[in-house]
Amino acid sequence: MHGYTPLFRRAADTTSLISSDLMLVGAVAGVALLAIGVAVVLLREVLAADQGTERMRAIAAAIQQGAAAYLARQFKTLAVFVVVIPFLLLVLPAETSGVRIGRSVFFAVGAVFSGCVGYIGMSLAVRGNVRVAAAAREAGEKRAVRIAFRTGGVTGMLTVGLGLLGAAVVVLLFQGRSAGVLEGFGFGAALLAMFMRVGGGIYTKAADVGADLVGKVEEGIPEDDPRNAATIADNVGDNVGDCAGMAADLFESYAVTLVASLILGKAAFGPSGLVFPLLVPAIGAVTAVIGILTVTPRARDGTALSAINRGFFTSAVISAIGVAVAAFMYLPGHFSEFTGVDAAIGRISGSPRMVAVVAVLIGLALASGIQLLTGYFTETSRPPVREISRSSLTGAATVILAGFATGLESAVYSAVLIGGAVFGAFLLGLGNTTLALFAVALAGTGLLTVVGVIVAMDSYGPATDNAHGIAEMSGDVTGAGAQTLTNLDAVGNTTKAITKGMAIATAVLAATALFGAFRTAVEANLATAGRAASSFSLSVDKPNALVGLVLGVAVVFLFTALAVAAVGRSAGRVVTEVREQFRTKPGIMKGTELPDYARVVDICTADALRELTTPALLAVMAPIAVGYALGYAPLGAYLAGAIASGALMAIFLANSGAAWDNAKKLVEDGYHGGKGSPAHAATVIGDTVGDPFKDTAGPAINPLLKVMNLVSLLIAPSVVTYSHNTAVRTATAAIAALVVVTAITIAKRRTSHLASTGDDRTPPPGPG
């Protein structure tokens, strides 16, 4: 592209980019704006589609109002954190006062961008759903899939565009000092995503579980029967959880992976290391457009998933070619041509071009492997789901056991796949730890090249799920159109499971890279304090490091328990409300009286906003307590334990839940007795157990890992600085621990509506 001598500047210049690099970063920002422009074009196409009958439009309007009302209340709650935390970040040490201020400002920018992706994506999903239903009714599967996927494509292109734009602007403004500012950007995106993921997950699964237990099991009515008071809340939940929450989750995965790669790139190669990690996702932004436009069913396709897979793999292949071209044009042929801040890298015998290309290919291979593996364990046509479906013939207990076994087994294979990718990327470091961790981060950016298509796949799920619900509630879509929507809904379950697997893989790569950034920050601060970097050891033969490792695992389990328990409490209140409406309004079952949909929406909204605080406080405060109480090395071990256990737990929860859901759909399609049979009731129970697994706790672990890593990265300098100040350490750890204990105590005191209304039953007396 140009001569390497001026491109890779002298080690003395570590604060600025040369003009050619600035032009490239500016071009990346331009690509980001183009991605946002493509989102606008797709948005107009979706909104121009027909909305179906008057009854369909009325149901869609109710879903829109409920979703908008929930997110408005959620954002009011979260606004406090977006305002307060930037001031707290000003207290933490940074390279310069400008970096400290920039970190706080871009924390707010990251949070706002994350919220925008979730809100805009959800807003379109609740408008695209009725258009998908209308397309299935009037034009058939091809048109319905096109609208559904392009509805998701808007969210995908916004994710790519805003994430890339935020990172590029930080690099343009702060150049060689951008690493500290990027920490704030990633933290803002991750924290808001966790709030939205947990809150939306609690909302959607409380409504879903409550609707299923009373409607399907007790009253024997269909899933989206308008006589069920929880139906509108359930459809609202699909959007605030699976769309808004997941979109924010994937946006922060995108942003945080970029942040980690840029921080490690700067550590390894100086300011020039900030450029290539931006070029890779910029190429992905272009190929995402191609992938999204490629998704159109063909006559030979078995299901809509074939068309979606074609779009995904098309995007992946073109991305791989584009990244290889960029690497050979931008990077030098030998490490000796680098003159960045890490002189040891310059002595490595090898080609940086090949390291970069292979690392990105590892990320793409991981994305493809996760897609195929998750599909195997969750698709209705595959043996695992069919086995769970068959187990329904012997009752709910065997359904639950089969689903648990499937989820646990899938977690092992997925963990091996992710671990192999991380280790393979690490080997590319050729013995240099900093370069090895940068290669892991580059593998993450390789996965980012297909994230636009991944987000589109995820948002496709709630759009088709809602379309199916609107069709069933309105009664205006019958015959071939109704069957089309049933098929698309089943594919949506699989795409949601696949994207959850992708998000988990991205979370592990990002967390591993952030862990490397944490190590770099600790060693740099040890050097500043005149202490040997070798004192930072994660060897578990030291009791404090082992305790940190165990605590990291324990926090993941506790976080999962809090999320699942919150869904259980809220679902209990929904069940009670729906039962009460059936009891007091007999006209509901006769179709002469409408249920009070708004009442259930209010219950789910209030519970979600009340319950989301405790898991979030645990994520932020736990690493602070561990770091100040035990020290920086145990904090590193804590992060290692959380990453390992979090990856396994998240995959287990996501895949078991999706497998239970699709096993239920198989029975509803006529297998093993069909709807209304004992087998159907058994699979409904399995599905309700899996709902908080796959849509609340499992996906929320992704932002949990990144929030804890980012908090640790932010506090690393002060943990090192005050490592010998017992008073400061004790006071800080005690306050953080007290906040966690208080929040958990308050959460544990909440009871379901059944208990609060005295509906407990006195147990019968024992013998004698």
Q: Which of 209-213, 342-346, 434-438, 596-600 has the lowest mean pLDDT?
A: 342-346
pLDDT at 406 (0 to 100)? 93
Give the list of residues 6+ apart from residue 68 with CB closer than 8 angstroms, or none: 123, 126
The residue-averaged pLDDT of 46-75 equals: 85
Q: Is the pLDDT score of 461 beyond 90?
A: no
- Residue 404, CA distances (Å) to 76, 141, 492, 619 in order: 38, 34, 21, 26
Residue 752 in tokens: 């379901």
Q: Classify 631 as helix, strand or coil.
A: coil
How many other C-beta atoms can be found within 10 angstroms of the C-beta atom of residue 725? 12
Cβ pair 378, 655 in contact under 8 A:
yes
Of the two residues 297 and 715, the one the predictor is more confident about is 715
Residue 339 clears pLDDT 60, i.e. is over it: no
For a pLDDT cut of 90, what percent of the chain falls above it? 22
Is the pLDDT confidence value at 526 over 90? no
C-alpha pair distances (Å), 409 with each of 369, 402, 506, 646, 649: 16, 11, 20, 15, 12
Task: Compute the half-sphere exposure of residue 525: CA atoms within 13 Å on the CB side of its CA.
Answer: 22
- Whether 3 has a pLDDT exceeding 80, the answer reads no
CA-wise closest residue to 600 among 583, 576, 567: 576
Specify the pLDDT at position 102: 92
Kindly indicate the confidence band of residue 459, based on its pLDDT and cuts at 50, 70 and 90: confident
Please indicate whether residue 165 or residue 212 has the higher confidence score (pLDDT): 165
Summarize the confidence of residues 364-390 as an average pLDDT.
87
pLDDT confidence of residue 534? 61
Most confident residue range from 72-81, 168-177, 622-631: 622-631
What is the model's pLDDT at position 338?
Answer: 61
* Pairwise CA distance, residues 249 & 118, whole Å: 9
In the predicted model, what is the mean pLDDT of residues 467-488? 82
pLDDT, the chain, mean: 84
Q: What is the pLDDT of residues 6-37, one digit of tens each?
A: 344 434 455 677 888 889 999 999 999 999 99
The answer to whether the beta carbons of residues 692 and 568 sit under 8 Å apart is yes
pLDDT tens-place string over residues 137-196: 887 788 888 888 888 889 889 988 998 999 999 999 988 788 888 888 988 888 888 888
Tell me what pLDDT residue 757 has: 47
Q: What span, in angstroms and rounded, lies between the C-alpha atoms of 127 and 129? A: 6
Q: Does the pLDDT value for residue 760 go beyond 80?
A: no
pLDDT band with cut points at 50, 70 and 90 for residue 648: very high
Sign of the torsion angle spanned by Cα atoms 559, 565, 566, 571: positive
**What residue segments make up the domains of the chain, in order of their start?**
14-754
Q: What is the mean pLDDT of residues 198-204?
A: 84
Average pLDDT for 479-494: 80
pTM surpassing 0.75?
yes
Q: What span, in angstroms and rounded, lies between the C-alpha atoms of 520 and 641?
A: 19
pLDDT band at residue 109, thresholds of 50, 70 and 90?
A: very high
Measure Cα distances from 307 to 43, 128, 207, 457, 489 in Å: 21, 19, 31, 11, 15
How far is 458 from 156, CA to CA, in rounded Å?
Answer: 9
* Helix ranges (DSSP H) in 270-303: 276-294
DSSP string over 374-391: HHHHH-TTSHHHHHHHHH
Which among 146, 20, 148, 35 is positioned nearest to 466, based on CA atoms?
A: 148
Q: How far is CA 598 from the centre of its chain?
A: 29
**pLDDT recorded at residue 768:** 39
Mean pLDDT to the nearest integer, 73-83: 83
For the chain, what is the largest distance between any 2 Cα atoms, rounded to a whole number of angstroms?
A: 94
Q: What integer pLDDT is reported at residue 535 of this predicted model?
A: 62
Task: Provide the pLDDT confidence category of residue 761 given band limits of 50, 70 and 90.
Answer: very low
Question: Mean pLDDT across the stretch 555-583?
Answer: 89
Select from 403, 368, 298, 431 the least CA-distant residue to 655: 403
Comparing C-alpha atoms, which of 298, 235, 247 is closest to residue 116?
Answer: 247
Radius of gyration (C-alpha) of the chain in whole angstroms? 25
Is the CB of residue 114 less than 8 Å from the CB of residue 192? Answer: yes
- Are 87 and 107 in contact, with CB atoms under 8 Å apart? no
Which comes out higher in pLDDT, residue 248 or 532? 248
Q: Which token pair is 540?
A: 């578990």
The whole-number average pLDDT for the span 727-751 is 89
Average pLDDT over residues 613-639: 91
Give the integer Cα–Cα distance in Å for 105 and 85.
Answer: 10
Q: 209-213, 460-464, 532-536: which range is least confident on average?
A: 532-536
Q: Give, as one character, the DSSP assignment of residue 219.
A: I
